[in-house]
Chain A
Amino acid sequence: MVCLTHSLNHGSPNSHMDFLLTVSVAIRALGRNKMRAGLTVLGVVIGIAAVTTMVSIGSSAGQLVQNELQSFGTNFLFVSGKSERRNGVRQQSTPSLTESDAEAVSAELDSVLAVSPLVGTSKPVVRGNNNCQPNEMFGVGEQYLLIRAWKLQAGSFFSERDIQSGNRVCVIGHTIVRELFQTANPLGETIRVGNIPFTVVGILEKKGAGLTGQDQDNVLLLPFTTVKKRLHGSNFDDVHAIFVAAKSPGEVQTATREIELLLRDRHGIAPGAAADFEVHSSDEISKFMGTVTGIMTALLASIAGISLLVGGVGIMNIMLVSVTERTREIGIRMAVGARGRDILVQFLIESVVLSCFGGAIGMTLGVSASMGITAIINELSPGSDWPVIVSIPAAIVAMIFAAVVGMIFGLYPAWRASRLDPIDALRYE
């Protein structure tokens, strides 16, 4: 016969219930009521799925904006004439900027790497029976490509002489190549812009679609002098805008300030008076994007917060039901020596397991949803190329969130269970 007795009065060893064992007991308890467990965690599933999806889509969008800014060059600035309001109607930009402003910026400012005047225009572009309408049809200076961080795929850009003499040469993007030339080699060929023949001297590198899916390769670049003289028939030297590249991204702010001072001086604007031009930088754009992202994040956080709150209340509710249903079990455990703490831990682990289970489902859903959504965006706007970003930190944070929700909302039911009186619990029917 096995030795049974041992003496009283030895202190009870102070180890608590195996953690893994408690987890497996919790999983078994939940497994008995799969349907209920599933419905209970729905709130958490939706919450975590929403967070994961939004964070992933948000970082894709952010990445895309970043790419876009990068493609403009991080040291990019431009100066435009200021649009004025007259009788509440927004007027055309006043023709305040001139070619010599551009030359002065280039010559006098150390922080500036490259400058190009810009004159916009819009004319039909024809070759034989084919015609097209470029998105961007700009008269620019010889440093334009340097400023835009763009390269030629073939041929060459306009020379200084082309610009000085207003030669009829042009550089075209891929879309125009495709629409006017199909497979023929465009270099040296002639196209008609506003019925004036231009010789194609260069082809731009393909850029692909932009943020909103717009075609960035539907571009025609001409010498700005040619646009003014031949297409606009103008003898003034005003330009629509001046594009500038600062020496480095760090010098964008200095360049902005220096350009402002120089042009105010050249335009004879008294200190304190409103300028007749504006300087924009990619800095400014990224700041704006930062604000947008901030608003997105706040929105996201509140959606997540609300759905996790709802999910948490669901868990609390079902845990209270579970504690009531299992009152006898609790009584039995207490009768054989479970302390309040053991019961508390058991039910806490159960609710954490429950909500982590919801979190895991939510995360899976969220990841597939964000992959699906980026795929749909890429499908619907041909050429656009949203990166699929599955944010691992976001997933981990989401799981921790789920665990914390389970912990917080499981606490009250678990505490109730741990405070039960063993006799009452044993007697419960």
Chain B
Amino acid sequence: MSLIELNKVCKTYDLGEVKVHALLETTLNIDKGEYVALLGPSGSGKSTLMNTLGCLDRPTSGSYLLDGAEVGSMSRNARAGIRNQHLGFVFQNFNLLNRTSALDNVELPLLYGSGMSRRDRRQRAREMLELVGLGERLDHHPGQLSGGQQQRVAIARSLVNAPSILMADEPTGNLDSKTSREVIDIFKRLNEENGITIIIVTHDLGVAKHARRILVLRDGLIQTDTQSFDEAFQSLHAMETD
């Protein structure tokens, strides 16, 4: 049994007059400890797939088993619990709370259902910030941090509940190449040293190069599923010349 098992998952947005099929019968297995990159042109359904995998959204049809549990039939609360306990999420635009410190931001997931004391929560949040190299910036607000630093705060937040899966939707999209590399290094280390399953959406081939498996999406379908970077590159290139 795989950690993630998608079986004929569809996602359709009903806009009244038109229906947008963002995902078409996607079937996909991801095992524990994998490092997967999701590539594809804009609008191909990468974010939709990520949100579905991340239990932020529910498939319109099909089955999504996460560690054997069916997500499609879960209540809102149950999905919130899964997001809190088992998944870490990193967004392109960081999604930090603006007027609170880095430490408060990292502590946030622990406020919901961890049952930890305030002291333990602060301690844990501090450790996570140290882990991403921001031990000196605990009291800084997002506005006082660079983009790369903000994304590292977001990563610390996603790790604070010790998730087994880390999902990142274009985490380097707003970063320059140098800070991108720093962020990618953190992901790589988490995967190799801690065995965290990583799924990362990107259109940066340099980022995708680090992944051990690459999925290429097109119009809501997985076009290519490969271990070889060259094959993925070709598939993507073929689309552009279509």
Contacts and interface: CB of A to CB of B under 8 A. Distances in A.
Interface of A: 1-10, 12-18, 21, 32, 328-329, 331-342, 422-423, 426
For A12, A17, A18, A331, the residue with the greatest tally of chain B CB atoms inside 10 Å of its CB is A12
B59 to A, nearest CB: 13
A13 B80 contact: no
Nearest to A336: B109
A33 to B, nearest CB: 11
B162 A13 contact: no
Interface string B190-224: 10011110000000000000000000000000000
Nearest to B193: A1
9 contacts: A8-B3, A8-B164, A12-B85, A13-B115, A16-B113, A18-B111, A337-B112, A337-B161, A338-B80
Interface stretch (B89-97, B172-180, B231-239): B89-97
Contacts of A342: 112
Q: For chain A, what secondary structure do more than half of its interface residues adopt (helix, strand, loop), or is it mixed?
A: loop
Contact of B81 (A12, A18, A32, A331): A12
Contacts of B162: 3-6
A426 B113 contact: no
A335 B164 contact: no
Contacts of A14: 113
Nearest to B69: A9
A76 B195 CA distance: 94
B112 A423 contact: no
Given A335-B56, A337-B113, A1 B131 contact: yes
Contacts of B182: none
Given A337-B84, A422-B57, 6 more contacts: A12-B113, A13-B113, A17-B111, A18-B118, A338-B111, A339-B80
B77 interface: yes
Contacts of B85: 10, 12, 337
Contact of B157 (A4, A336, A422): A336
Contacts of B46: none
A1 B163 CA distance: 15
A32 B157 CA distance: 24
Given A6-B164, A422-B56, A423-B56, A339 B115 contact: no
A398 to B, nearest CB: 33
A7 B164 contact: yes
B226 interface: no
Contacts of A329: 97
A32 B57 CA distance: 32
A337 B91 contact: no
A11 B115 CA distance: 13
A21 B67 contact: no
Interface in B70-114: 76-77, 80-81, 83-86, 89, 91, 95-97, 99, 108-109, 111-114
Q: Which of A5, A337, A339 gathers most chain B CB within 10 Å?
A: A337
B114 A339 contact: no
Contact of A423 (B51, B76, B114, B161): B51
A17 B159 CA distance: 19
B81 A339 contact: yes
Given A12-B84, A12-B85, A2 B111 contact: no
B139 to A, nearest CB: 15
